């Protein structure tokens, strides 16, 4: 029995674990919360993060990081980016030369402005093999075995082929990507734009306005990706346009839901309390604000969304900024 590791027992980590188990692999899944471990062991359901989905007995939860690294060579990680470095630092004593990593997280580290793959190599060294898996995929629908497309990015062609083998099945279509940086940028930055589009929807802005923000925002995401070393072309695929369409328009999107609530006059704090977590777009908006300053990027759409999440400007002020920048007559 081939064993695979999973760091993170949230919705997406659990959903990917179901695909791996479906393909016959035992998944040693590290969960931060002991009660989540106990619940999965006793009921085979992750009620907190992925309710109503019966999990395979091949998914073995644990609260001990060492269990994952002792039993598996390939380690998938689905840890929120804000906690990624801390988890890896704790795992450092257990990492050996045979371990390879697969990035599932989406975001940009706030202080150092590093993508998840860069955090991994920063902690464990440049020689460690890292791949990325991303694409338009709601965790619940993926766990329910709805047809889903994911891109697999890795410079190492052998390891990339291994990831295809691990994941591909009757409902999971995997596609090659040669741009790990661009893949991660698309997956991270689309959350911010989806949040902004949700604000417009919640405020009942017109479809014309939302289309303008969608299009110009995607162009700004491309600028951010290029600043970090990604390819512009990657954003036209699954982890760019595909992921953005799903996250901004899908009813299961937490980022779009938060945006809609903000557009209706609620606060970020009240919505995150309701959800029990902070959608990744909020943290990534702050990171993009720093990225723009560091690289002197002109990002009126993404920076305007950041300001709205921080209460630094209102919707009308945001729209007025766009009018001035994009040449609307007064």
Strands 148-153 and 129-134: antiparallel
The radius of gyration of the chain from alpha carbons, rounded to an integer in Å, stands at 19
CB atoms within 10 A of CB 249: 15
For 138, phi and psi rounded to 5 degrees? -80, 135
Q: Which residues contact 72 (CB under 8 A, 6 or more apart)?
A: 3, 4, 5, 28
179: three-class secondary structure by DSSP: coil
What is the chain's length?
A: 330
The answer to whether residue 190 is catalytic is yes
Instruction: Decide if 15 contacts 21 (C-beta within 8 A).
Output: no
Catalytic residue among 190, 232, 310, 323: 190
Distance CA 327, CA 330 (A): 9
Nearest to 68 by CA among 19, 115, 117, 13: 13
Distance CA 48, CA 11 (A): 9
Q: What residues are labeled active site?
A: 190
């Amino acid at each position: 029995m081939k064993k695979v590791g999973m760091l993170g027992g949230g919705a997406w980590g659990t959903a990917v674990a179901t695909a791996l188990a479906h393909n016959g692999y035992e998944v040693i899944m590290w969960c931060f919360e002991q009660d989540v471990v106990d619940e999965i062991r006793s009921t085979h359901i992750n009620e907190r993060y992925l309710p109503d989905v019966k999990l395979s007995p091949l998914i073995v939860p644990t609260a001990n990081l060492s269990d994952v690294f002792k039993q598996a060579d390939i380690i998938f990680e689905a840890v929120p980016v804000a906690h990624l470095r801390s988890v890896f630092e704790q795992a450092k004593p257990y990492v050996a030369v045979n371990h390879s990593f697969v990035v599932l997280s989406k975001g940009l580290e706030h202080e150092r402005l590093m993508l998840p793959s860069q955090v991994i190599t920063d902690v464990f060294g440049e020689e460690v093999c890292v791949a990325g898996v991303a694409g338009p995929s709601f965790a619940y629908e993926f766990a329910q075995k709805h047809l889903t497309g994911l891109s697999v990015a890795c410079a190492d062609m052998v390891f990339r082929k291994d990831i295809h083998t691990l994941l591909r099945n009757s409902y999971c279509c995997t596609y090659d990507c040669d741009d790990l940086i661009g893949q991660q940028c698309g997956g991270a930055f689309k959350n911010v734009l989806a949040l902004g589009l949700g604000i417009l929807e919640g405020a009942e802005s017109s479809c014309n306005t939302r289309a303008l923000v969608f299009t110009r925002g995607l162009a700004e995401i491309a600028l951010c990706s290029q600043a970090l070393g990604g390819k512009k072309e990657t954003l036209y695929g699954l982890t760019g346009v595909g992921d953005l369409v799903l996250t901004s328009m899908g009813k299961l999107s937490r980022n779009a839901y938060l945006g809609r609530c903000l557009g209706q006059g609620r606060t970020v704090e009240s919505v995150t309390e309701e959800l029990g977590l902070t959608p990744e777009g909020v943290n990534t908006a702050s990171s993009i604000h720093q990225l723009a300053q560091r690289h002197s990027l002109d990002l009126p759409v993404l920076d305007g969304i950041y300001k709205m999440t921080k209460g630094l400007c209102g919707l009308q002020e945001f729209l007025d900024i766009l009018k001035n920048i994009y040449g609307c007559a007064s």
